[in-house]
Copies of this chain bind each other. A is one copy, B any other.
Amino acid sequence: MTLKYTLLKQDGEARLGELETTHGKIQTPIFMPVGTQATVKSMTPEELNQVGSQIILSNTYHLYMRPGHKLVAEAGGLHKFMHWDKPILTDSGGFQVFSLAKLRDIGEDGVIFRSHIDGSKHFFTPEKVMEIEQDLGADIAMAFDVCSPYPAPREQVVAALEKTTRWAARCKAVHTREDQALFGIIQGGLFNDLRKRSAEELLPMDFPGYGIGGLSVGEPKPLMYDCLDHLMPIMPKDKPRYLMGVGSPDCLVEGVARGVDMFDCVLPTRIARNGTVFTRQGKLVVRNAEYARDFRPMEEGCDCYACRNFSRAYIRHLIKTNEILGLRLTTIHNLHFLLHLMQDIRDNIAAGTFARFYKDFFAEWHE
């Protein structure tokens, strides 16, 4: 097997683990910064290292469109192409095909859609997605799934989960790359019995890890937590659990508390580019006028590069004048914040103090 998960310690439902991939070991629970187009927006690989990234995610749909998976393969694979030698996970393009592209037809075989860039017509099947992901060559690939929107009627969610199961089997059948682990994705929307059914269908296929898809798609947070409360107890203990598309600090803490090991989201980098940063007290909109003459760092006590060297006043000036350095600094801070939050979480699980950490975190955090 190309991926080995070791559960090092459990503290309540929170899990401290180690994931061994082709490009090295990852300490879980972990947040994965998103590098949609073979780059985490505005960051160099060295900067990703400096903020504490262990693994990044890249998007199959986007890389298939530009520059194309064949070109990436020709470059020696995604790691070499983008100069990142730590682990990478590629999603399956399922979410993008259903949310970003213009859908034409969802058949049993696959999905016909039009590019969000130039309107050109494309056809994704499980087999095609496996070809693309194997050409990209990430350490972890995700199976091609059908993601239902929120809200969605029960019949639609049933159909999506059933097709996801059939497509997962087809993905597994054609996935041959031994240095790449293939994860299945559990669907079922917010119907607890459907989540259970999806898990029962996919777990026997023995994927080395499982994504939990179709959450954080617009539903209230308590519904997501309730879904995890029901789903997590039936997940295997010896495999990593990846809650897809979740990246708000409070959601990370709540997810870990329920036994999630992996997260990804564009949120920290996206809000950074709009001039919003995380602090332990909640979000701070550094582009606001109230910070024009505030010469303190974005978050006092933070030891990220941005907070060590620049003031809110300067960063606000950069953002107001559309200077790239501004969003670079907010991006650095937000990734540093989330990755160090995960480090704190791991330290507390190791020390058996996660319950206390959880309480302290929410005493300070404000939405």
* Chain A residues with a Cβ under 8 A of chain B: 37-39, 41-45, 66-67, 71, 74-75, 81-83, 292-293, 295, 305, 309-311, 313-314, 316-318, 320-321, 323-325, 327-328
The 10 closest A-B pairs by CB, nearest first: A42-B324, A67-B317, A83-B309, A39-B325, A37-B321, A39-B323, A66-B321, A81-B314, A37-B323, A83-B310
List B contacts of A313 (CB < 8 A): 67, 71, 75, 81
Q: Can you name the residue of chain B whose Cβ is closest to the Cβ of A44?
A: B325
Also in contact, A82 and B41, with CB within 8 A (given A292-B71, A295-B75):
no
List B contacts of A43 (CB < 8 A): 325
Whether B293 and A325, one on each chain, are in contact in the complex, defined by CB atoms closer than 8 angstroms, is no
Whether A324 and B325, one on each chain, are in contact in the complex, defined by CB atoms closer than 8 angstroms, is no
Also in contact, A75 and B324, with CB within 8 A (given A37-B317, A66-B317, A67-B292):
no
Whether A293 and B71, one on each chain, are in contact in the complex, defined by CB atoms closer than 8 angstroms, is yes
Q: Can you name the residue of chain B whose Cβ is closest to the Cβ of A314?
A: B81
List B contacts of A71 (CB < 8 A): 292-293, 313, 317
List B contacts of A305 (CB < 8 A): 44
Whether B324 and A41, one on each chain, are in contact in the complex, defined by CB atoms closer than 8 angstroms, is yes
Report 7 cross-chain contacts, Cβ distance below 8 Å, ordered by A residue: A37-B317, A37-B318, A41-B323, A67-B292, A67-B316, A75-B313, A324-B327
Report which of B44, B82, B314, B323 forms a contact with A75, defined as CB distance below 8 A: B314
The answer for the CA separation of A305 and B44 in the assembled complex, in Å, is 10
The answer for the CA separation of A295 and B81 in the assembled complex, in Å, is 9
Whether B328 and A44, one on each chain, are in contact in the complex, defined by CB atoms closer than 8 angstroms, is yes
The answer for the CA separation of A309 and B314 in the assembled complex, in Å, is 30
Name the distance in Å between A171's Cβ and chain B's nearest Cβ: 27
Whether B82 and A314, one on each chain, are in contact in the complex, defined by CB atoms closer than 8 angstroms, is yes
The answer for the CA separation of A292 and B316 in the assembled complex, in Å, is 37
The answer for the CA separation of A295 and B75 in the assembled complex, in Å, is 7
Known pairs A41-B324, A43-B325, A324-B324. 12 more at Cβ < 8 A? A38-B317, A39-B323, A39-B325, A42-B324, A42-B325, A66-B320, A67-B317, A67-B320, A71-B313, A81-B313, A83-B314, A324-B328
List B contacts of A314 (CB < 8 A): 38, 75, 81-83
The answer for the CA separation of A316 and B75 in the assembled complex, in Å, is 13
Also in contact, A74 and B321, with CB within 8 A (given A44-B328, A313-B67):
no
Report which of B38, B82, B292, B318 forms a contact with A39, defined as CB distance below 8 A: B318
List B contacts of A321 (CB < 8 A): 37, 66
The answer for the CA separation of A83 and B311 in the assembled complex, in Å, is 9
List B contacts of A316 (CB < 8 A): 67
Name the distance in Å between A167's Cβ and chain B's nearest Cβ: 28
The answer for the CA separation of A42 and B44 in the assembled complex, in Å, is 12
Q: Can you name the residue of chain B whose Cβ is closest to the Cβ of A81?
A: B314
Name the distance in Å between A275's Cβ and chain B's nearest Cβ: 15
Name the distance in Å between A319's Cβ and chain B's nearest Cβ: 11
Name the distance in Å between A156's Cβ and chain B's nearest Cβ: 33
The CB with the most chain B CB atoms within 10 A, among A316, A317, A323, is that of A317
